[in-house]
Copies of this chain bind each other. A is one copy, B any other.
Amino acid sequence: MSSPRTQTYAQRAAKNPNAAARALLEVIERKKSNLCVSVDVTKRDEFLNIIDTVGPYVCLIKTHVDIIEDFDLSVIEYLKELSAKHDFLIFEDRKFADIGNTVALQYSGGVHKIASWSHITNAHPVPGPSIITGLASVGKPLGRGLLLLAEMSTKGSLATGAYTEEAVRMARAHRDFVFGFIAQRRMDGVGATDTDDVADEDFLILTPGVGLDSRGDAMGQQYRTPKEVVTESGCDVIIVGRGIYGKGGSVDVQAVQAQAERYRKEGWAAYLERIGQAPS
The SS class assigned to the A binding surface is loop
If A102-B67, A158-B166, A163-B158 touch, whether A42 touches B109 (CB-CB below 8 Å) is yes
State in angstroms the CA–CA spacing of A126 and B155 once bound together.
Answer: 10
If A64-B106, A98-B95 touch, whether A220 touches B154 (CB-CB below 8 Å) is no
Any B CB within 8 A of the CB of A249: no
User: Number of contact residues on A: which range applies?
Assistant: 35 or more
Any B CB within 8 A of the CB of A152: yes
Q: Mark A2-31, 1 if CB is under 8 A from B, else 0.
A: 000000000000000000000000000000
CB–CB B110/A71 < 8 A: yes
State in angstroms the CA–CA spacing of A121 and B120 once bound together.
Answer: 27
State in angstroms the CA–CA spacing of A101 and B248 once bound together.
Answer: 15
CB–CB A154/B166 < 8 A: no
A256 partner residues in chain B, CB cutoff 8 A: none
CB–CB B219/A101 < 8 A: yes
CB–CB A71/B111 < 8 A: yes
For A99, the closest partner residue in chain B by CB is B154
For A156, the closest partner residue in chain B by CB is B128
CB–CB B157/A127 < 8 A: yes
Find residues 83-116 in chain A having any chain B CB closer than 8 Å to their own CB.
Answer: 93, 95, 97-102, 105-106, 109-112
A93 partner residues in chain B, CB cutoff 8 A: 98
Any B CB within 8 A of the CB of A189: no
Any B CB within 8 A of the CB of A167: yes
CB–CB B111/A130 < 8 A: no
A40 partner residues in chain B, CB cutoff 8 A: 101-102, 105
A110 partner residues in chain B, CB cutoff 8 A: 42, 65-69, 71
If A67-B109, A105-B42, A106-B64 touch, whether A155 touches B130 (CB-CB below 8 Å) is yes
Q: How far is the CB of A109 from chain B (nearest CB, A)?
A: 5
CB–CB B130/A154 < 8 A: yes
Any B CB within 8 A of the CB of A226: no
If A71-B111, A98-B95, A167-B158 touch, whether A127 touches B152 (CB-CB below 8 Å) is yes
Q: Mark A154-192, 1 if CB is under 8 A from B, else 0.
A: 111111000100110010000000000000000000000
CB–CB B105/A128 < 8 A: no
CB–CB A102/B64 < 8 A: yes
21 A-B pairs (CB sep. < 8 Å): A40-B101, A64-B105, A66-B106, A66-B111, A67-B102, A67-B105, A67-B109, A68-B109, A68-B110, A69-B111, A71-B111, A95-B97, A125-B158, A126-B126, A126-B152, A127-B158, A128-B152, A128-B155, A130-B154, A130-B156, A131-B154
